[in-house]
Chain A
Amino acid sequence: MKRFIGFIKKEFYHIFRDRRSLFILFGMPIAQIMLFGFAITNEINNVDIAIIDHSKDATTEEIINKISTSKYFTIKQMIAREADIETAFKKGKIKAVLNFEKDFSKNLIKEQKATIQIITDATDPNTANSITNYINSILQNYQQSKNKGIVVEYQIIPQTRMVYNPELKSVFMFVPGVMTIILMLVSAMMTSISITREKELGTMEILLVSPLKPFQVIIGKVVPYIFLSVINAAVIVLLSIFIFKMPVQGSLLLLGLESVLFIITSLALGILISTIAETQQAAMMISLMGLMLPVILLSGFIFPITSMPAPLQIISHIIPAKWFIIIIKGIMLKGVGMAYIWKETLILVGMAIFFIGLSIKKYKIRLE
C-alpha cells in the first residue's frame, strides 16, 4: 500500500509541475463551456416576424398593434395562407410567424377563449425560446387589460410550434456534450500520454524491473486522473448552473456516480491506447483521431444519431460517449432517475469492465 501511495504522489507531482497538462485539465472545460454558453445570447431586439390573420377583426388588430409597437418585434410581412409560411421562413429574415385562427374575436366572446399559433425558427433555439416567451407575455398583458372587471375571463391560448429544430438544442443541450468531451479528453488522452512519457524517458524500464505489479502501475496512473476528472465534471456542472442558470432536474448524486463510471471507461481506453503507442505524440494522435472525433461526430453531440445513415448508427452503439450523453441528458435536462437509464448504465458498466480487462491483459510486463 505504501508503494502505491508513493506512486500516486509522484503522479500528482507530474501533473502539477506540467503547465501544459494543467491548462488542458482546467482551462479547457471552462473555456469550452464559456464559448458555447456566450455564443448564444438570450436578449432579443427588433426581431422580424410575419403574421397570418384569418380573422382580421378588432381584437387581432389590437394584438398586432401591441406587438408591432413593442421594441422587440417588427412586423415584416403579412401572409395569406399557411402554405406560404415555409417560403417566408426560407426567404426572409423572419424568425417567427403568428397565426390567428379564424373568427378570433367571435370565439373569444362566445367561448371565452381563442387560439393563436406561434411558429418559431428553432435553428437558433435560444432566440426561438425567447421570442415565444416575449410574445406570450405581450399576449398575457393584453389579456389582463381586457379582463379587468369582467366576471368570466377571456382566455387567449398560444400554441407554440418550433420548426427546423424541434428538439430545441440549446446551450443546455451542449453541456452534456461538452462534459463528455472534456472527461474523455482528460481521462483517456492524459493517462495515455503520461504512460507513454515513461516509455520515452526509459523510466518504464525501471518500473517494470521492480516489484510493482502491472495492476499497481495502472491503478496508480489512473487514480489521480479519476480525482481530477471528478473535479472537472463538478466545475462544468457548477458553471452551467450558476452562470447559465441551467436547471439540473435530476439527482446530482446519480449524475456524479454516472460520471465516475464514464471516467473509468475512458481511463481504461487511455491505458489501452498507451499499450499500442510508443511515443507521447502517437498517444496524442490516437486519442484525438480515435476518440475525440467519434465522440464529436457519432455520439449524437452535434449530429442527431437518428438522422445518420444506418451503418453509422450501428457504429455509434460501440461509442461509450453516446450512452453517457443519453444518461446525463436524461438526468440533467429531463430529471429522470435510474429507472429510465438503467439500460444505458449497464452498457457502460459492461464497456468499462471490457476495456479494463483488455488493458490489463494487453499491458506488457516486458518490453515487447
Chain B
Amino acid sequence: MGISISNISKSYKKVKAVQNISFDVNPGELFGLIGPDGAGKTTIFRILTTLLIPDDGTAKVAGFDVVTDYKAIRKSVGYMPGRFSLYQDLTVEENLTFFATIFGTTIEENYDLIEDIYVQIEPFKDRRAGKLSGGMKQKLALCCALIHKPKVLFLDEPTTGVDPVSRKEFWEMLKRLQKKGITILVSTPYMDEAALCDRIALIQDGEILEIDTPEVIVNKFPKTIYNVGAHNRYKLIKTLQSYEHLYSVFPFGEFVHYTDKRDSFETVDLKSYLEKAGLTDIIIEVTQPNIEDAFMELAKK
C-alpha cells in the first residue's frame, strides 16, 4: 500500500519540472518531500494522484499504476492540493458532506477517522469556508481528504501560510493518522519540518538531492560547523568571505554558520583574523548541522 516511483521525468513545454526521479514510500510511512517553491514537488504529487502523465518512467500508488490504473488510484487515495482547495461559499459542514457524497460515503460512516480533527472545527460548522482562518481551513481540508478512508494520503504543502501553533497541531494529527496505518506523502518548503518525517527526500530544481531519514542526512554532513557571532553581522560575513580558509559561510539566525577548508583548525586563528578586521564581541563555537545546512551542502554540488 505504499508508493513506488522509478525514473519519472516531466516537462512543461521547454521547462523541465522533474528529472529522472525515483523513490519509494513504504506502507505506513510518513514521507516528506522537502524543497523550495518551484522544485517540482507539486508535479510529483500530480503525477502520483493521476492528474498528470509522466513523460518518462513509471509510478505505482497502492499497487496501481498511475497511468493505466488511474481509476483504482482515484478511489483509494486522499489528496489535499496546495492552497486548501475548498468551496469558499459552502459552510464547513457542507464542504465535508459534499466530499463525503462524491466518494460515496457519509460523514457518520468514517467519523472515527476524522473525529479528533473535526471536533476542533465543529463549533464553526455553519461558517463559510472562505471565512475561516488559515489553520481552520487546513484542518477542514484534511478532513475532506480523509472522509473516504484513503489508504494513501497526499498532502501538498499543507502548512504553507499557517501559523506555528496550527502547524504543530497539524503534524501531531499526521502522526496519529500514521498510527492508523495510512501511508502519508507530505511536501513542505520548511526545512524545520523535515525532522518530523520518518524519511525525507530533499528536492531542488526537479532533482532529488538525497533520500534518507533526517538524522542520517544530517549526520552525513562532512564538515564541522561553527556558530560565529560578532557585533556587526554584515561586516562579519564580508570579512569571513575573504578569509583564505573559508569553505562556506551562511547567515543563520543570530549567528553565521562557518565551515573551514582545513580538517583540523584552531578557532583562535579565526578569532584573531576577525579581531584584526576590527570586529568585536566575537563568539566562535561548534554547533550541530541541521537539515538546512545539509540541503545547502547538497545543493552546492
Contacts and interface: CB of A to CB of B under 8 A. Distances in A.
B85 A367 contact: no
A175 to B, nearest CB: 34
Contacts of B103: 3, 210-211
Contacts of B97: 6
A18 B98 CA distance: 18
B101 A3 contact: yes
Interface residues of B, number: 31
A209 B50 contact: yes
B14 to A, nearest CB: 16
Contacts of A206: 79, 81, 85, 99, 144-145
Contacts of B81: 202, 205-206
A3 B53 contact: no
A112 B91 CA distance: 81
Given A10-B90, A366-B52, A210 B85 contact: no
B52 A210 contact: no
B85 A201 contact: yes
Given A6-B102, A7-B101, A10-B90, A211 B85 contact: no
Nearest to B78: A209
Given A2-B101, A10-B98, A367-B52, A202 B46 contact: no
A208 B51 contact: yes
B58 interface: no
Interface string B127-160: 0000000000000000011000000000000000
A10 B87 contact: yes
Interface string A203-237: 10111111110000000000000000000000000
A207 B95 CA distance: 13
A5 to B, nearest CB: 8
Contact of B89 (A2, A18, A366): A18
Contacts of A17: 89
Given A13-B94, A209-B74, A211-B75, A201 B53 contact: no
Interface string A1-38: 01101110110011001100000000000000000000
Central interface residue in A13, A201, A203, A367, by most chain B CB within 10 Å:
A203
B51 A366 contact: yes
A209 B87 contact: no
Contact of B101 (A6, A13, A209, A365): A6
B50 A202 contact: no
Contacts of B175: none
B135 to A, nearest CB: 18
Contacts of B77: 209
Contacts of A208: 50-51, 74
Nearest to B99: A206
Contact of A366 (B53, B87, B94): B53
A14 B89 contact: yes
A82 interface: no
Interface string A353-368: 0000000000001111
B17 to A, nearest CB: 12
Interface in B86-111: 86-90, 94, 97-99, 101-104
Nearest to A5: B101
Nearest to A216: B102
A94 B23 CA distance: 88
A148 B139 CA distance: 92
Given A211-B74, A367-B52, A13 B85 contact: no
Given A6-B98, A205-B79, A206-B85, A13 B50 contact: no
Contacts of A368: 52-53
B51 A367 contact: yes
B181 interface: no
B83 interface: yes
A14 B99 contact: no
A142 to B, nearest CB: 68
B87 A202 contact: no
B38 interface: no
Interface string A74-88: 000000000000000
A368 B81 CA distance: 16
Contacts of B74: 208-211
A150 B51 CA distance: 91
B11 to A, nearest CB: 12
A3 B83 CA distance: 25
B82 interface: yes
25 contacts: A3-B104, A5-B101, A6-B98, A10-B90, A10-B94, A13-B87, A13-B94, A14-B89, A14-B90, A202-B83, A202-B85, A203-B87, A206-B99, A206-B144, A206-B145, A208-B50, A208-B51, A208-B74, A209-B79, A210-B74, A210-B102, A210-B103, A365-B70, A366-B53, A367-B52
Ranked 10 nearest A-B pairs via Cβ: A6-B101, A202-B85, A367-B51, A17-B89, A209-B79, A203-B85, A205-B81, A209-B49, A202-B81, A10-B98
Given A7-B101, A205-B81, A366-B52, 17 more contacts: A2-B104, A3-B101, A3-B103, A5-B101, A6-B97, A14-B89, A18-B89, A202-B81, A202-B82, A202-B83, A203-B85, A206-B144, A208-B51, A208-B74, A209-B49, A209-B74, A210-B102
